[in-house]
Structure formats: C-alpha cells, structure tokens
Amino acid sequence: MTTPMIEIKGVHKFFGDLHVLKGVDMTVQQGEVCVMLGPSGSGKSTLLRCINGLETISAGRVYLEGELLGMREKKHGDKVVLHELHDKEVSAQRARIGMVFQRFNLFPHMTALENVMEAPVQVKQVPKAKAQAQAKKLLERVGLGDRTDHYPAQLSGGQQQRVAIARALAMEPDLMLFDEPTSALDPELVGEVLEVMRSLAQEGMTMVVVTHEIGFAREVGDHLVFMDDGKIVEEGNPKEVMDNPQNPRAKDFFGKVL
C-alpha cells in the first residue's frame, strides 16, 4: 500500500468555547478526489484550513504523505511530546499544498501572469524567466493563454478563479485543496472552473474539494465525506452515499438537494 496523501487522526478545533471540529478521522489516498459536502457551519472549510496550516489544530494530528504537519514528535522518557515547528519549516510543508479559496485573492495590481509567477519567484527563488515560462504554460492549461497581460479587474469571476488555480499549481503542489471554489461565481461561469478541476482530476492530481456542486461530486469524486456538526457522519463512494445515505442527517440533506 502506498502512503496516504492525507491522514487526519482525532482532529479537534476550538475557537474559544466554540467546538468546531470534534474528533475528525479521514484518509485521502494519492490520486484521489475527495469531495466534502454538508450543511453550512459543519466544519468543512475549517478542516481544509487545518490541513493547510492556516489554522492550528487544538488536538489530533494531520499527516501529509506520512509526515506530521506543523509539529514534531520528541520522546521524553516514555512520553511523546509534540513541539511546534518553526515558521520556516511550516512554510516548507505548506508549499506542498495548493489552496483555492471562494474569493480569488489575486493581487489587483499584478497581471494574471505576474500573479502566477509571484510565489515561485518569492518563495522558491525560481529565476524570473523560468517562472514566467511556467506561468504562461499554466495559464494556457486553464484556458487563459490570451489573458496573460490582463489585470484581475479586467477578468470575469470565472477567469479570476482559473488564474487562482494556475497560481496554486505554480508551486507544483502534491495536493490541491478547493474551498467552495464556485460559490462566489455567477451560475453561467461555474462550468469553466469545474472543467479545469475535472481535467486536474483526470491528470491524477490529489484533491480535497469542499463544494455544493452535487453533479461534480457525483461525477468526479472518488470518495465523498459528509460532515455535520463538526464530525464526519457518513463517507464512501459518492453515488452510493447520495443514492442511499444511511445517516439521518445525510438522508435529510440529500433529500433536499437531489
């Protein structure tokens, strides 16, 4: 068996007294598209942010290809004590994970090309000429080869989100996380973003996708995770979970959206 891309063990997250994640266990295999569904406030986006290190988990562990994220285990006698990694080490781990948000978060003063080039040049010290050539290829890959010199304000929402996907891919990540990437888009622009995500899945990119796009989840997902109230209450093959949910909350949810 290959090492899972992501392994989440007993993860809890508190914001003050608010208990948002309540002992989440989840495994995502390499090359798998894991789709996460569930009502708003169920903890899906928080879990993504914990995987990416944007939120510090309160308890539990997250592993990326067998490597503990954000922490290092040290033995003190019979006890194993967790120590937080230095910022530089956390940044190196995070560089292996691409993340695409609801809002595109592009730099407004930079062209599409400059947005895609920025992280490889600044974080990985890739020479500018090489980063530029790579950025052009990535923009072509997401169907924006003719928009390299456009600023975000000159692009539609769907085009901006495709630039954001190219920007995440520019770091050559092992894993891509998508946090409701189409929820801020006009309905007619959703398809162009989902098409790019479909092509990534076909190329074997490991993806965790929080989405309300039921058709995409059914068609492209290998593994569906349904969350409610900070817990995973049902998971499995997307078609089987959607067509025959066992958990009462999942039955109610899919009864309303299908």
Q: Residue 90 carries which side chain, given as an amino acid letter? A: V
Alpha-carbon separation of residue 69 from 61, 65, 66, 247 (angstroms)? 7, 10, 9, 31
Q: Residue 141 carries which side chain, given as an amino acid letter? A: R
Beta-carbon contacts of residue 133 (< 8 Å; ≥ 6 apart): none
> CA 81, CA 226: separation in Å to the nearest integer?
32
What value, to the nearest 5°, has the Cα angle with vertex 33 and ends 30 and 34? Answer: 105
- The confidence score (pLDDT) of residue 71 equals 77
Q: Where are the beta strands (DSSP E) in 109-149?
A: none
- The confidence score (pLDDT) of residue 1 equals 67
| CB 236, CB 224: distance < 8 Å | yes
Q: Sign of dihedral through CA atoms 60, 65, 67, 71?
A: negative
Alpha-carbon separation of residue 118 from 98, 110, 165, 250 (angstroms)? 14, 9, 14, 42
Burial string for 169-194 (b: 16+ CB within 10 Å, else e) reads bbbebbbbbbbbbbeebeeebbebbb
What value, to the nearest 5°, has the Cα angle with vertex 69 and ends 68 and 75? Answer: 45
Place of tokens 């092509």: 199
Beta-carbon contacts of residue 140 (< 8 Å; ≥ 6 apart): none
> CA 118, CA 138: separation in Å to the nearest integer?
13
| DSSP letter (8 states) at residue 148 | T
CA atoms within 13 A on the CB side of 55: 20
Per-10-residue mean pLDDT, the chain, length 258: 92 96 97 95 94 90 90 76 78 88 92 96 94 97 96 96 96 95 90 94 96 93 96 96 94 90
- The confidence score (pLDDT) of residue 84 equals 78
